Amino acid sequence: MFVIKCPNCGERDLSEFSYGGEAHISRPEWRDEMSDTEWAEFVFMRTNPKGVFAERWNHAAGCRRWFNMLRNTATDDILAVYGMGEEPPEVTANLPATPSGEAAIGSGNDEAKVIDAGDAADGGGGA
Ligand SMILES: [Zn+2]
C-alpha cells in the first residue's frame, strides 16, 4: 500500500489521489513570440530525474485540493508535502547505487550515460 499524507486530510491510500505532473512549471510570458519548437518544448518536455522530483497531486477522492510533493523517484520515498505556491523545502535523498554507475538522470537513457575512455579500455565500469 502506498500512502500519501494529504496536508488537509492526513494519510490516505494512493488510490484517492490523482497525479498532476511536474510542479513549479509556469506558462512563459512571451508565449505569443514563441516558435512552435519552443512551445512544444514548454508543453511536452519535463525533467525526469532519478532522485528528488517536485510534483503536483490532487486529493480527488477527498478534499479535492491540490498540493505539491517532493518524492525520491528512485525509491518512491515521499520527502515532503507542501502547499501550492510555496517553495519546496530543503531535503536530502539517498540514491541507491546502480551496478553500471549510470548518470543520475534516468536509467536506460543511453545518451545520458558517460563512458570514460579509460574505463572502456580496461573493461571496468562506472564513472
Ligand atoms: Zn485531502
Residue 114, Cβ density class (10 Å: 0-12 exposed, 13-18 middle, ≥19 buried): exposed
> What sign has the CA pseudo-torsion 31, 44, 49, 93?
positive
User: Which pLDDT tens digit goes with each residue over 60-93?
Assistant: 999 999 999 999 988 889 999 999 999 999 998 8
Do 61 and 85 lie in one domain? The reply is: yes
Domain range spanning residue 102? 98-127
In angstroms, rounded to a whole number, what is the distance separating the alpha carbons of residues 64 and 8? 10
Do 21 and 66 lie in one domain? The reply is: yes
Domain count, the chain: 2
**What CATH number does residue 68 fall under?**
3.30.2270.10
Ligand 1 centre and the CA of 9: distance in Å?
4
Mean pLDDT across 103-127: 50
More confident position, 63 or 2: 63
Ligand 1 centre and the CA of 69: distance in Å?
13
Q: What confidence score (pLDDT) does residue 121 get?
A: 46
Do 71 and 116 lie in one domain? The reply is: no
Grid cell 494529504 is found at 6
Ligand 1 centre and the CA of 127: distance in Å?
43
Do 32 and 92 lie in one domain? The reply is: yes
Ligand 1 centre and the CA of 68: distance in Å?
12
Ligand 1 centre and the CA of 92: distance in Å?
25
The C-alpha cell at 69 is 510533493
Ligand 1 centre and the CA of 44: distance in Å?
28
